[in-house]
Every structure is written in C-alpha cells, then in structure tokens.
Structure 1
Amino acid sequence: MTTDLKDLTRTVTAASVRELLSGRPRVLALGEPTHGEDALLDVRNGLFRQLVEQEGYRTIAIESDCLAALRVDDYAAFGVGTLDDAMRWGFSHGLGDSAANRELVRWAREFNEGRPPADRVRLAGVDGPLEISHAQSPRKALTALHACLTSAAVDAGLFPCTWHTLDRLLGDDEGWSDPAVMRDPARSVGRSTEADRLRVLADDLVALLDAQAPQLIAQTSRDVWERARLYGRTAVGLLRYHYWMADTAPSRMTRLLGVRDQMMADNLLALAERSPVLAHAHNSHLQREKSTMRMWDHPLLEWWSAGALVRARLGEQYAFVATALGTIRHRGVDTPPQNTLEGLLHALPEDRFLLDARRLSAFLGDTPPRPRESPWFGYAPLDPTHLPRIDALAFLRDTDTP
C-alpha cells in the first residue's frame, strides 16, 4: 500500500499545483492546520515566490488584521518606513514575530525595487481587526473612510455627518474593545443608541464612496479608492460584529464566527478583482465545507467558511490546497497513528510532498481512515472525508525538520 501511495506524490511546487488545476484561479487558497509554525510558512513562501515568477501572481493575503497589514504593504510595495516597523505594527495575532513572515516581507521589498507600481508584489491581510477575545473599535476604519472622501473634495453637503459627529458617537475605544464582552454580552456597546446610529452612517458613507468613485480615483488614485473600500467594508463588518456581540441568543457565537469569515471572504473577493491572489489561512477558513468548532460550554458550532463563500462567488476560479502534517513535537503532537490519514502519509520517506487530493480519496476507497485526534487544541487534523472537495494536499512530515 505504501509503495502505491508513494506513486501519488509529487514535489511541492507551483508547477505541480498548476498541473492539478484546470486553469489559473483568481484565488488560490493554501490552508494550514495550525498557526505559528515557520516550517509551514517556509512552504508558503517558496510556493508564493514561484507563483510570482512563473504564474504572474502579485498578491498574497494572510490571516492577519486587514488594516494593520496596510503598513506592511506600504513598506513592501513602496518602501515606506522600515522593515522593523512593518513587522512590529503591521501584523496581528503575533505573526510579526515570525522569521518566515519577516523573510516574506524582506523578499517582497527586494522584488519590488525598481519595478513599476502595477508589477509590484502586494501584501494584504484578510482578517478583520479581531481577536478570539475581543474586537477593536470601528474608529480607525470609519474616520479613515471619512478622510478618504474628504481628500477627494467631495461636496460637504453630501456627507451624512461630520468627522466630529463620528468622534462623538464612537466615544471611548475601550468600551468597544473590552475583552469581558466575549463572555458577558451585557457589557457590549454594540446595540447602544450611538452604535445604531453609527451603523446607519457607515452604510451612508459606503454608499457615498460608491457614488463618488470616479471623482475619488481621478483626484487621488485607484490605490486610495481601494483602501477606502477596505475601510468601508471593515467599518460595516466591525459594527455588525459588535451588534452580535451584544446578543444573548444561543446562536450568538455562530453569528460572530460567520461575520468574521464573511469579512475575510469580502476582502479576498476585493483583492481578486485586482490580480490573482494566494490566500494563506487556517484550513478551516479556506475549506469548501462548513467550518466547525467547540468553544467553552457551547455545543458544536457550524458556519460557512470564507473559502465556501468565495467559492460560491467565483466557482472554478477558487482553488483550495489543504496542508496536513505529521508531528509538532514541541507541542506534544507526536508520530500519528498508522490508521489515520496523517499516519499513512507520515510513513512515506519524503519530508514534504504534494498529492492530488481526489486521487488520494479514490485510493483510500469507500472507507477512509479514521480522523486523527489532536492532543493539543491548537492543531486541527485533516478530516479525510473532505478530500473529494480539496484540489491538492500538501504534507509536511515534521515541523521541526530544518
């Protein structure tokens, strides 16, 4: 069985991935089963460099705060600021501490040097300004959107409010970002009179942005317009997220998880309008299936992933490469049992390889291996029943392998 399985493997390269797809997708999604492992990010970096050099990709989008990532993009694309500042302020979730992420940004800056703006590599975040414990204030997104419209000299009489009105309604940012709200909805300001008013104003500002797009692009640039759209999406998404944080219904967490993935999907779709995108995030965000999670004392939560939402819009222009791995020994994830998918793949001699997921599914037959159980909450093994709806599977034998 092992010899036959080995025949299905190939090297993890852009060319190998391309052979498994019917064309060049607008969004090529590369998932990971855990966060914080540079070995997985090294695979991502190598694949992205090849996609840039061989397939014409110019954008990579990672699971990080979409607004903070603007600082990374400014440095990588235009040389604004320093690499140290980009890493310190341009990533969320601790991703700025990653040596592999630092190498990605350094390489992008070097690649972009001397190239015309339209041919430069761009770096983006697709996540909202959210953590598992709290969500940020919508202040940054709302006031930046207002400022973009002001910079285009849009008639003041068309604005639904002034900057000072926004500032007054937003109040103290601490009330929005209070981490106690995640456990106690009563502490949320998301359904206050001020928040309700802000939701209406955010909608009106986005509508004004759409109506004034020709003027904004002509008087500033398409980049400024795209950023303004990002600010608008983020403001509306954050206000919606805070609204549901104040909810007390049993469906509260399902709503919040769904809103987050909807924000990620909207950001990916906007990026795909500009150029083909390599998206990198957790498998659960990028899969075509519904995502599931157990959290605290909640029953199993289910919601549509960002990948499923993007796939619904783009069809075959969305492709998903999942990643599975064998061991994360420093996290207590040791050699996988032989009767699991990861165990079968771990028995092969190569450290990393790629497989056609659908051929692998057919090879395994009607009774796939049992799902692996993780001893560590931060790692999610691959569900073998998902293989028929995955385009390719990358496997990494050991995260500690140099």
Structure 2
Amino acid sequence: MANRIKETVHSVDAAALLRLLSRRPRVLALGEPTHEEDTLLHLRNELFRQLVEEGYRTIAIESDCLMGLVVDDHVTSGEGVPDEVVERGISHGWGASAANRELVRWMRAHNEGRPAAEQVRFAGFDGPLEITGAASPRQALTALHDHLAARVDTGLLPCTRETLDRLLGSDEQWTEPAAMMDPARSVGQSAKAGRLRLVADDLAALVEEQAPRLIAGGPPEEWERACLYARTATGLLRYHHWMADGSPARLARLVGVRDQMMARNLLALAERGPVFVHAHNTHLQREQSSMRMGGQRLEWWGAGALVDARLGAEYAFVATALGTIRHRGVEEPAPDTVEGLLYALPEDRCLVDTRRLAEVLPGARPAPRVSPWFGYAPLDPDRLEGGDGLVFVKDMAPA
C-alpha cells in the first residue's frame, strides 16, 4: 500500500502542480486547513514566486479587499513604509505574520524597475468583514461617489455627498460589536440603511452605464477600483441587512453573502489575468461548504464553488492537509486516515495526485480525522476527487 501511495506524490513546486492540471487555469486556488501558520504561508510564498515565472501576476489572499489596495500601491509604486503598509493593508491581524511581510518585501523588490505590464500585483479578495462584524460602508460608498462625481455629470448622481454623509451617520453604529449576536443591535434594516442600499445600487448602475467614458478617461486601475468600490458597497449593505435579520436564515445568509463578495472579487481579478489565490479550504472547495455556528448547521456555496460554476476548467483547486500542529494539541494522525497514510511517507511535504490516490486506496474509504482543536479542519476523505490535487505538509513549526 505504501509503495502505491508513494507513486501518487510529487515534489511541491509550480511546474509539478501545473502538470497535474488539464489546462492552465485563470484562477489557481491553494487552500489551507487552518489559519496563522507561517509554515503554510512560507510555502504559499514559494509557490507564488515560481508561478510568476509561469505567467501568474496576481496573488489574492483572504484579506480585506479595500485595505489590500494599500499593499498593492506599495508593491507597484513603493508608496508607504513597508511595515506600516503590511500592518494597515492586511486585515484580521495577519499583518504581523513574518511570512506576509516576506511576501510584500519580495513583491516590491521584484517590481523595482519593471514596467507595469511585468509587475506582480497584490489583492485582498475578502470583504471588509471580521468574524465579529462588518465595517461601515462609508469608505466604499464615499470613494465610489467621489470617483463618479469627478468624471460624470453630477446631475446623474442619486444624491449629493452631504446627503450621503447624513444617511451614513456615525461609523460606530455600523461596527457595533453586539450586532453579530443580537440582530436588534444592527442598523442594517433601518430606514436610512434601506435608502443607502438604493443609493449604492444606483451608483453601481451608473458605473456600468458610464463605462465607455470611465474606461477611456483614465488608466485601467481607475476603472477596476470603481468596480471594486461598487461591489463592496452593495455587498456590505447586503451583509448589514442580514445582520439585522431575526429569521433562522440569518447566519446562513451572512456566510453566503461573504463568499459571494469573495467570488465577485476573484472573477474581477481573473479578467486582468491569471490569479493565484490563497484562503481557507472551506472558501475555495468546489463542494458546498458547511459549519456549525450559533448551535445550528450552516450550508452555503463558497467562493470556489461560485467561481468554478462560472469558469469551469479555468478554475483549479488544490487543498492543503497536514500532519501535526503540536502547539495546538493536534498530534500525529491515526494511520487509517488520509493524513495518517501520507504522514507515514518520508517526505516532509509533497504534492498528491488525488485522483490517482483515490484509485489506489483500498475499497473502504479511509476514516475521517477528528481534530481536538476547533481551528483546524481535517480533510474529508469523501471529497478527495473534488480537488485537482493535494499539498500535504507533515509538521507545523510553532511561530
């Protein structure tokens, strides 16, 4: 059995990864089963550097799409102090990661002196969201309004900037921490929020209506940012609307809206050229995602499933599985699990052809692994064929 499994593994490098795929995808997604492990992020960085040599020019990570503009400006123009850029431009507190800082430093060094067409680009593809709540829609809405006001007849705008500010009110009401657990504390279904959703929809529609003027009137980055502001403004207001909802569908709608925002951002990035994306396996897998939250089981279609439905073979997903996270209490996997079978191999890390692996496994599927730590999601052995490959990393080094 061990010899047959060994026949399915390859070295972890971009060339081997691309050989596993039937075609070179526009969106190449690498998932991770847990967050904040620099071992996995250093591997992500290494693969991206190699993929740049294969024609990929954008890396997208599970971080705030608006904050990510700060990082993109830095890596393309040198604007800002590197440490401050990473701290401000990567959300969820992940700017402190040594691997994320390494990524940004490398991107800036790579771009130095290169023409724009050869530069690498950075993007966050998550919404301005945290697990505890969502940002105020102010940044996206005002940036969108200002962008249009400077380029089209102001009579076409649905309201003035002063009216927009009045409708937005204080940012604190939008970011109220108690709203995630108590919908009554959210302003997402107030009369002003309802008006803002109409304003945001009209502004987003105006971007499309004025596309010839907007595209011709400036560099491509300006048009891309106008579309990003429109997507983010409408998505955030939809998210806040469901935060204020008291129905049983509330949590499922929240996670669904978030992944829809992720998917729309990825599809937009793919229009610019090939994208390498890194996020949790749950967001990138083709199958329907599920989790338990607030005492109920939630099911929704993740960003990967939504992008796959649109791009088909131009979307590829490679999951990551791992052996141990000893500093989190995750010890060696049981030998009858997929992780256990791979852990028995001598390689510290390997790339697995999952379709071949499914063929060589015995008739009975391996047992599912159970994690003693909630922050790590083991591989589902029934979904091996759902991905285009699997990266296995034996042991996580403590930070």
Q: Secondary structure at the match of 1:294?
A: strand
Match of 1:130 in 2: 129
Distance 2:80 2:210 in 1: 31
Match of 1:3 in 2: 3
Match of 2:56 in 1: 57
Match of 2:34 in 1: 34
Match of 2:389 in 1: 392
Distance 1:18 1:146 in 2: 42
Q: Secondary structure at the match of 2:164?
A: helix
- How many Å apart are 1:220 and its aligned residue? 2.6
Inter-CA distance 267–371: structure 2 relative to 1 (3 Å threshold): same
Match of 2:308 in 1: 311
Distance 2:48 2:363 in 1: 35
Q: Secondary structure at the match of 2:245?
A: coil
Q: Quick one: which amino acid aligns to residue 222 of structure 1?
A: P
Q: Secondary structure at the match of 2:313?
A: helix
Q: Across the two proteins, how many residue pairs are aligned to each other?
A: 399
Distance 2:367 2:250 in 1: 32
Q: Quick one: which amino acid aligns to residue 127 of structure 1?
A: D
Q: Secondary structure at the match of 2:134?
A: coil
Q: Quick one: which amino acid aligns to residue 192 of structure 1?
A: S
Distance 2:366 2:177 in 1: 40
Distance 2:207 2:274 in 1: 25
Q: How does 1:318-397 map to 2 (within 5 A)?
A: 318-397=315-394
Match of 2:89 in 1: 90
Of 253, 256, 281 in structure 2, the residue corresponding to residue 255 of structure 1 is 253
Of 206, 218, 221 in structure 1, the residue corresponding to residue 219 of structure 2 is 221
Q: Is the 8 A contact 1:87 1:96 kept in 2?
A: yes
- How many Å apart are 1:246 and its aligned residue? 0.8
Q: Is the 8 A contact 1:62 1:126 kept in 2?
A: yes
Distance 2:164 2:363 in 1: 58
Q: Quick one: which amino acid aligns to residue 344 of structure 1?
A: L
> In terms of mean alpha carbon deviation, does 5-14 or 266-275 score higher?
5-14
Distance 1:213 1:222 in 2: 12
Match of 1:74 in 2: 73
Distance 2:129 2:363 in 1: 40
Distance 1:213 1:148 in 2: 13
Q: Quick one: which amino acid aligns to residue 298 of structure 2?
A: L
- How many Å apart are 1:151 and its aligned residue? 2.8
CA deviation map 1:194-238 (0-9, x unaligned): 000000010100111111122223333210110111011000000
Q: Which runs of 5+ in 2 are unaligned?
A: none
Of 280, 284, 287 in structure 1, the residue corresponding to residue 278 of structure 2 is 280
Give the alignment's TM-score, normalised by structure 2. Answer: 0.98
Distance 2:347 2:196 in 1: 55
- How many Å apart are 1:296 and its aligned residue? 2.9
Cα RMSD for the two superposed structures: 1.1
Q: Secondary structure at the match of 1:373?
A: coil
Deviating beyond 3 angstroms after TM superposition, the runs of 4 or more aligned structure 1 residues are: none
Distance 1:23 1:219 in 2: 36
Q: Quick one: which amino acid aligns to residue 143 of structure 2?
A: A
Distance 1:302 1:186 in 2: 24
Give the alignment's TM-score, normalised by structure 1. Answer: 0.98
Of 148, 153, 168 in structure 2, the residue corresponding to residue 170 of structure 1 is 168
Q: Quick one: which amino acid aligns to residue 231 of structure 1?
A: Y
Match of 2:287 in 1: 289
CA deviation map 1:60-119 (0-9, x unaligned): 000000000000000011111121121110011111011111111001001111111122
Q: Quick one: which amino acid aligns to residue 183 of structure 2?
A: P
- How many Å apart are 1:401 and its aligned residue? 8.4
Match of 1:149 in 2: 148
Q: Quick one: which amino acid aligns to residue 343 of structure 1?
A: G
Q: Secondary structure at the match of 2:293?
A: coil
- How many Å apart are 1:264 and its aligned residue? 0.3
- How many Å apart are 1:365 and its aligned residue? 4.1
Q: Is the 8 A contact 2:149 2:157 kept in 1?
A: no
Q: Is the 8 A contact 1:129 1:135 kept in 2?
A: yes
| 1:20 is the counterpart of 2:20 | yes
Q: Secondary structure at the match of 2:131?
A: coil
Distance 1:113 1:97 in 2: 24
> In terms of mean alpha carbon deviation, does 123-132 or 357-366 score higher?
357-366
Q: Quick one: which amino acid aligns to residue 109 of structure 2?
A: E
Q: How does 1:220-239 map to 2 (within 5 A)?
A: 220-239=218-237
Match of 2:299 in 1: 302
Distance 1:366 1:290 in 2: 25
Q: Is the 8 A contact 1:151 1:220 kept in 2?
A: no
Match of 2:158 in 1: 160
